[in-house]
Amino acid sequence: MGRRNFIKGMAAASAAVATPALALSEPAKGIKWDKQVDIAIIGSGFAGLAAAIEAKRLGGNNIEIFEKMAVYGGNSAINGGLFAAPNTPLQAKEGRKDSPDTMVADQLKAGRGIADEKILRHVAEHAMEALQMTLDAGAEYHPYLQQLGGHSVPRTYQTTVSCGGGITQPLLKECKKLGVTLSNRTKFEGFLLDEQGGVEGIKVRRGYYFGKEDGGNLEHIKVGKGVIVATGGFAQNINLRMAQDPTLTSEVGCTNAKGATGEAMLEMFRVGAVPVHMAHIQSGPWASPDEGGFGYVSNYSIYNFPHSIAVDRRTGLRFMDEIADRKTRADAQLERRDEQGNPNPPLMITSYKQSKQHPTAKKVLKYGVGWKFDSVEALAEHFGVPLAPLKQQIEEYNGYVKTGVDKQFGKNMAKAKGKYLEAPFTVVRLWPKVHYCQGGVQINPRAEVLNSMTGKPISKLFAAGEVTGGTHGVSRLGSCSIPECMVMGMTAARTILA
Amino acid sequence: MKTQITLAALLSFALSAGAAYAGDTLVDQGQVDGRTYHQKMYDKQNCKTCHGVKAPTSYPADDACVKCHKVDKLAAKTERQGDEKLQNPHDNLHYGKDVPCVECHGEHTSKEPLCSDCHTFDYPKFKK
Judgement on whether residues A491 and A412 belong to the same structural domain of the protein = no
Q: Out of A11-25, A34-48, A149-163, which region has the weakest mean confidence (pLDDT)?
A: A11-25
Interface probe with B: pick from A169, A206, A290, most Cβ of B within 10 Å:
A169
Judgement on whether residues A84 and A178 belong to the same structural domain of the protein = yes
**A114, A474 in Cβ contact below 8 A?**
yes
Q: Between A294 and A383, name the one with better pLDDT.
A: A383
Q: How far apart are CA A193 and CA A206, in angstroms?
A: 20
Helix, strand, coil share (%) of chain A residues, nearest 5: 35, 20, 45
- How confident is the model at residue A5, as a pLDDT? 42
**A65, A49 in Cβ contact below 8 A?**
yes
Q: What are the tens digits of pLDDT across the range B25-62?
A: 999 998 789 999 999 889 987 898 999 988 888 889 99
- Closest residue in B to A294 (Cα) is B118
Interface probe with B: pick from A14, A44, A72, most Cβ of B within 10 Å:
A72
Q: What are the tens digits of pLDDT across the range A279-315?
A: 999 899 999 999 988 888 998 999 999 999 999 998 9
Judgement on whether residues A440 and A427 belong to the same structural domain of the protein = no
Number of domains in chain A: 2
CATH number for the domain spanning A360: value is 3.90.700.10
- How confident is the model at residue A160, as a pLDDT? 94
Burial readout B48-87 (b: 16 or more C-beta within 10 A, e: otherwise): eebbeeeeeeebbbeebbeeeeebeebbeebeeeeeeeeb
Distances (CA, A) of A455 to A27, A121, A273, A443: 21, 21, 9, 10
Q: Between A133 and B10, name the one with better pLDDT.
A: A133
Judgement on whether residues A291 and A424 belong to the same structural domain of the protein = yes
Judgement on whether residues A232 and A303 belong to the same structural domain of the protein = no
Long-range contacts, A158-163 (Cβ 8 Å, 24+): A158/A80, A158/A81, A158/A82, A158/A83, A158/A299, A159/A81, A159/A83, A161/A81, A161/B86, A161/B93, A162/A80, A162/A81, A162/A299, A162/A358, A162/A359, A162/A360, A163/A77, A163/A78, A163/A79, A163/A80, A163/A81, A163/A299, A163/B93, A163/B94
Q: What are the tens digits of pLDDT across the range A464-490?
A: 999 999 999 999 999 999 999 999 999
Judgement on whether residues A13 and A80 belong to the same structural domain of the protein = yes
- How confident is the model at residue A22, as a pLDDT? 52
Which of A71, A291, A359 shows the shortest C-beta gap to B98? A71
The rounded mean pLDDT for chain A is 92
Residue A424: asked if its preceding bond is cis (omega within 30°), the reply is: yes
- How confident is the model at residue B17, as a pLDDT? 39
- Closest residue in B to A253 (Cα) is B118
Please list the alpha-helical segments (H only) found in chain B: 2-22, 39-43, 48-51, 71-77
Q: CB count, 10 Å around CB of A59?
A: 7
> Which of A431, A456, A475 marks a domain boundary?
A431
Interchain contact, B59 vs A209, CB within 8 Å: yes
Q: Out of A1-5, A418-422, B115-119, which region has the weakest mean confidence (pLDDT)?
A: A1-5
Q: What are the tens digits of pLDDT across the range A227-257?
A: 999 999 999 999 999 999 898 988 789 999 9
Which of A72, A291, A296 shows the shortest C-beta gap to B98? A72
**B125, B89 in Cβ contact below 8 A?**
no
Q: How far apart are CA B67 and CA A488, in angstroms?
A: 40
Judgement on whether residues A368 and A251 belong to the same structural domain of the protein = no
pLDDT level of residue B23 (50, 70, 90 thresholds): low
> Which of A407, A431, A455 marks a domain boundary?
A431
Question: Which residues of A belong to the active site?
Answer: 326
Q: Between A386 and B121, name the one with better pLDDT.
A: A386
pLDDT level of residue A339 (50, 70, 90 thresholds): confident
Choose among A432, A447, A398, A438: nearest CA to A418: A398
Judgement on whether residues A192 and A104 belong to the same structural domain of the protein = yes
- How confident is the model at residue B48, as a pLDDT? 86
Can you tell me the mean pLDDT for A66-70?
97
Judgement on whether residues A341 and A439 belong to the same structural domain of the protein = no
Share of chain A above pLDDT 70, in %: 95
The rounded mean pLDDT for chain B is 81
Which strand (E) or helix (H) includes residue A298? helix A297-304
- How confident is the model at residue B101, as a pLDDT? 96
CATH number for the domain spanning A105: value is 3.50.50.60
Q: Does B94 touch chain A (CB under 8 A)?
A: yes
In angstroms, what separates the C-alpha of A356 from chain B's closest C-alpha? 14
Q: What are the tens digits of pLDDT across the range A18-45?
A: 445 556 788 998 988 999 899 999 999 9
Q: Which domain holds residue A359?
A: 286-431
Q: What are the tens digits of pLDDT across the range B56-98?
A: 888 899 989 998 998 898 999 899 989 788 989 999 999 999 9
Q: Does B86 touch chain A (CB under 8 A)?
A: yes
- How confident is the model at residue A21, as a pLDDT? 53
Q: What are the tens digits of pLDDT across the range A183-225?
A: 999 999 999 999 889 998 999 999 999 987 888 989 999 999 9
